[in-house]
Structure 1
Amino acid sequence: MKLFRIDSFQVGAGKTQMTWFRSLLVGSLAFTAACASGPQKKQTAAPEVTPPAAQQPAPEQKPVPPPAQKSGSAQSAFAAALQSYEAGDLDGARKGFEAVVDELPQSLNAQFNLGVIAERQGRPDDARVAYEKVLLLDPAHVPAVVNLGVMYRAQGRLDEAIALFQRALKTPGREYDASLLNSLSITYRVAGKLDESEAAARRVLVRNKDDPGAYKNLAHVAYAREKYRLAELLAGTARKHSENDPALYNLLGMVYLKLDDRARALVQFQKAISLDAKFTPGYLNLGALALSYRDYVGAERSFGKAVELEPGSPDATLYLAWALDGQKGRDPKKGLAAGEAFEKVLATRADLPEAVCGAGWAYASDRAGWQKAIAFLDRCKGLETTTDNDKQMITAKVQGLQNMLKAPPPEAAPATAEGEGDGAPADEAIGGGGAQPAGGAEGVAPGQGSDVAPEGDATGGAGAHPGQGTDAMPADDATGGVGSGAPLAPGGKGTPAGK
């Protein structure tokens, strides 16, 4: 997110079921996240720049008094807060902007910046309150509307998000605001309302015929309708006007996978992360593509990077667990690491079948994890989604583990024999829910192409978990549009992140 630079303070004008890894590559190649919360919104500070031509500053809602001139102390506090933010000192920035708000309670941008910092610090409730305070002063404050709408969308509150955008669009002068309409288009698509999503995106083009966000949204709609050639054409048009947007290359990668052209898909995913080394969906797609070829080491590397970028993402952690689990046959310690990753997922998604059963089979790879394996496999057996065949396999496995625990630990085998002796058969891994990544490629031979969901916004797919095959949401609110979630400097306009 980006901070507005100071010229003068802008003052408000007053109150106005069990889906196992064997289905990972059928509908879940992308992190959906799409992009946002999720992609997490870009939250890097940026210098003051002129908004791109495709995003014309919206006209004033109505005549307002001249901006209140900042006092010396307020100016100093804002400048210090901005400097702290750019240095990565979020606590210092927070205190600085709070001091500004204390002196000038109607400072829209200082209040907005507090919301952005709250999001970065993992305080969504505080962020929501900050954005709502801004909207009390200016109901059509685009950056606050967009950020609050993205938060609602990430929480699955789609009707509220839609109502918020529609309300702002009714403000005189905002009827064709590109950021609001593109955000509305994304939200409609997440809600499964493709006709409405298309209409909102086309409305942008009435006034902004070259807007890349609108073309990207239309490409996502075409993708959702399985019109892949049209999606390719629209994404290509968007790329002409925004050639450095990694989300567009990611979407093209999704399209090429649907067209059974994995080589071109790989190039697009690699291009996405070359443009933005912190573009999480690109790493997730590269990891999933590696899994489709059973390249578990490569998958671990890509998913590990995604987890590094978004340590709190249960989706990225679940994918990493599958990549580690695929290596337990050669290295039982990888099974233990996979079990720990599955447990991290369960910390936020209690009783998720994939994670419960996956942890059981992963821990079963090494004696150090047998006790945990028995506990997790018993839980897995009790899940309604576990098949009768899997239950039989679990019963046999648990009995075997219990018998082996009664026996003394065997002497250490020669190093040259360890890899062969501890190899876990693929059937064993698939049983118990198929949390073993090898099961994920079952029925999907290299070159056949697999269903994938296009990368979306940072909202994380509105709560969908891996394996469900839901379409991911675009990253528009994270990477483009006025009010993309960037902290604002008084009197300034939002600068699209990543621009």
Structure 2
Amino acid sequence: MEFSQGDDNQNYSLSKFESMLKTNSVLFFDSNEFENIIHHYLENGKIALAKKAIKLGLEQHPSSVNLQLFLIEIYVIENKFDEANQLLDKLYDMEPSNEEIYIQKANVLSKQDEHKKAITSLEIALDISKTPENDSDLYSLIGMEYLFLDQFDKARESFEKCLKLDHTDYSALYNIIYCFDFMDKNKDAIDFLSHYLDDNPYCEVAWHQLGKQYFAMKSYKKALAAFDFAIISDDSFIGAYLEKGKVLEKQKRYLEAIENYKITLALDEPTSFALLRMGYCFEKLGENDTALQFFTKTVHEDPLLDKGWIAITKFYSKKKNYQKALYFINKAINIDSENVVYWKLYGHINHQLSFYEEAEHGYKRTLELGNYEIDTWLCRADILIKLGEFEASTQTLLQAAEFYPENEEVEYRLAGLYFMQNESTKGRYHLKNATKINRDYYFIIEELFPSLANHGILTQNLIATKKASN
């Protein structure tokens, strides 16, 4: 139980305990006081103080099962599973019908990835449990264990039992929808939420989730109605306004979308998501100066939001203001040098500015970070050709061919590169592959290797490959 301003006794106990620590004096607390103090520290992540309270508590109340259960929690946090199990065995001998023992046992098992055994332990606790409130918590814990096992139907059934016991348990409601989403069962989720709303017609969370399901199914009219009902149920529900704005954008009702995003800014501190979406809306309306203002506000509000930097960089790229675009993508990379999208944009912008070495570096980093899209390979290869790095370009394309084994653009480039390096046998091999896939793409060699076409090498080998294929 957390200490609140209105509970003078609990606040007094906490103050007394902290005063005792400062003065090194020893004061007496009953076991309930220690339990409340420890719970407070654990809830607030003050593990060291919780450990001190447990130690002093057990010195004064060595037979307290509840204080020993808190000690087990500490053992679990510190991954001391052997100690936790030894103490649990001792407590089981003392109180075999204490459900908390089985809950802590399940906690230990779960931390050791023994999720099936954890479920068994929680089911025993459920048999012992005497209150609906405890049952609800136990079903929730069982549901989480099934999630760890990727058994989403069983997890959902457990969370549904939570919701039956407490229809305001929104955590259970979210978990149920998460299970449906993971299994791509949007229609089942809609059916479930519709039945839930029959009994709880003013539940803004359920309306919000229903709207998201309709949105995922592109039923925008129904999604909009659901978000409107969420707002009717709670007119300060920021999430509903944000989602409604997204639906209105899909319907190209940009001014209305902006109004909904503005409401969220009035209700709470500005969110980078709302600022970003407003920027996109103004851009769609052709109000570029205003759009730029909101993109700029987005990156000021949340410098770690990559979508903000991407939006502002693409904004300048569309205007062909590549110097400005380069300035902002450099700022983005300085904040997050492992972002693959940043590096791809960096490569593209430098390419447009004819800064070929920088562009090549950008595409190289893009590939190193795991972006294996065909245009990334081709862009890097083409820049290396411009730089006269034929061998490096060849190696890049051979790597690309592992991912795209029958791609005419890769094959024509390899043919040209091998001819340029006087490896005619390999050149003819790749030219033959390329013409088999698509003869119309021979212009790639003419564009990238004009000297080959001018000297007739291309024509001669095209004739040769044609005769060979016949």
* TM-score bracket, shorter-length normalisation: 0.5 to 0.7
Count of matched residue positions in the alignment of Structure 1 and Structure 2 = 317
User: 2:171 aligns to what?
Assistant: 143
Match of 1:232 among 244, 258, 270: 258
Given the superposition, is the C-alpha separation of residues 216 and 128 from structure 1 closer, same or farther in structure 2, using an over 3 Å criterion? same
Kept after mapping to 2: 8 A contact 1:186/1:197: yes
User: 2:395 aligns to what?
Assistant: 371
Q: Which moved more, 1:326-335 or 1:261-270?
A: 326-335
For structure 2, list consecutive stretches of 5 or more residues without a partner in the other structure: 5-41, 46-64, 80-106, 127-133, 424-442, 449-470
Instruction: Kindly report which structure 2 residues correspond to 1:29-428, keeping only aligned pairs within 5 A, or say none.
Output: 71-77=66-72, 95=111, 102=121, 104=125, 125=150, 133-138=158-163, 140=167, 141-150=169-178, 152-153=180-181, 156-170=184-198, 172=199, 174-292=200-318, 293-294=321-322, 295-296=325-326, 298-299=328-329, 301-302=331-332, 308=338, 317-318=340-341, 320-327=343-350, 329-332=354-357, 334-335=359-360, 337-339=362-364, 341-342=366-367, 345=370, 355-366=373-384, 367=389, 368-376=392-400, 382=406, 391=408, 396-406=412-422
Deviation at residue 286 of structure 1 after TM alignment: 3.2
**Secondary structure at 2:383 match in 1:** coil
Kept after mapping to 1: 8 A contact 2:137/2:162: no
Larger radius of gyration: 2
Kept after mapping to 2: 8 A contact 1:250/1:268: yes
Quick one: percent identity of the two aligned structures? 12
Instruction: Kindly report which structure 2 residues correspond to 1:451-470, keeping only aligned pairs within 5 A, or say none.
Output: none
Deviation at residue 261 of structure 1 after TM alignment: 2.5
Q: Which has the higher contact order (CA 8 A, sep 6+)?
A: 1
Measured against aligned partners, the alpha-carbon deviations of 1:371-404 in whole angstroms (never above 9, x if no partner) come to 2324526966945xxxxxxx5x655532232234
Deviation at residue 405 of structure 1 after TM alignment: 4.6
Measured against aligned partners, the alpha-carbon deviations of 1:207-252 in whole angstroms (never above 9, x if no partner) come to 2233222222222222111111111122212321123332221221
Kept after mapping to 1: 8 A contact 2:156/2:179: no
Query: Which has more helix, going by share of residues?
Result: 2
**Secondary structure at 1:125 match in 2:** coil
1:131 & 1:77 partners in 2: Cα distance? 29
RMSD value over aligned CA atoms?
4.8
1:307 & 1:184 partners in 2: Cα distance? 38
User: 2:91 aligns to what?
Assistant: none
Given the superposition, is the C-alpha separation of residues 190 and 137 from structure 1 closer, same or farther in structure 2, using an over 3 Å criterion? closer
1:117 & 1:276 partners in 2: Cα distance? 35
User: 2:85 aligns to what?
Assistant: none
Deviation at residue 133 of structure 1 after TM alignment: 3.7
For structure 1, list consecutive stretches of 5 or more residues without a partner in the other structure: 8-44, 49-69, 85-90, 309-315, 348-354, 384-390, 408-426, 433-499
Deviation at residue 94 of structure 1 after TM alignment: 6.7
Measured against aligned partners, the alpha-carbon deviations of 1:48-76 in whole angstroms (never above 9, x if no partner) come to 9xxxxxxxxxxxxxxxxxxxxx9444445
Measured against aligned partners, the alpha-carbon deviations of 1:112-159 in whole angstroms (never above 9, x if no partner) come to 68988999xxx7937887666433443554223324535654775433
Query: Residue 211 of structure 1 aligns to which amino acid in structure 2?
Result: F
Q: Which moved more, 1:239-248 or 1:144-153?
A: 144-153
Given the superposition, is the C-alpha separation of residues 338 and 138 from structure 1 closer, same or farther in structure 2, using an over 3 Å criterion? same
Q: How high is the TM-score relative to the length of structure 1?
A: 0.50
Measured against aligned partners, the alpha-carbon deviations of 1:326-360 in whole angstroms (never above 9, x if no partner) come to 4355243642552453475567xxxxxxx123223
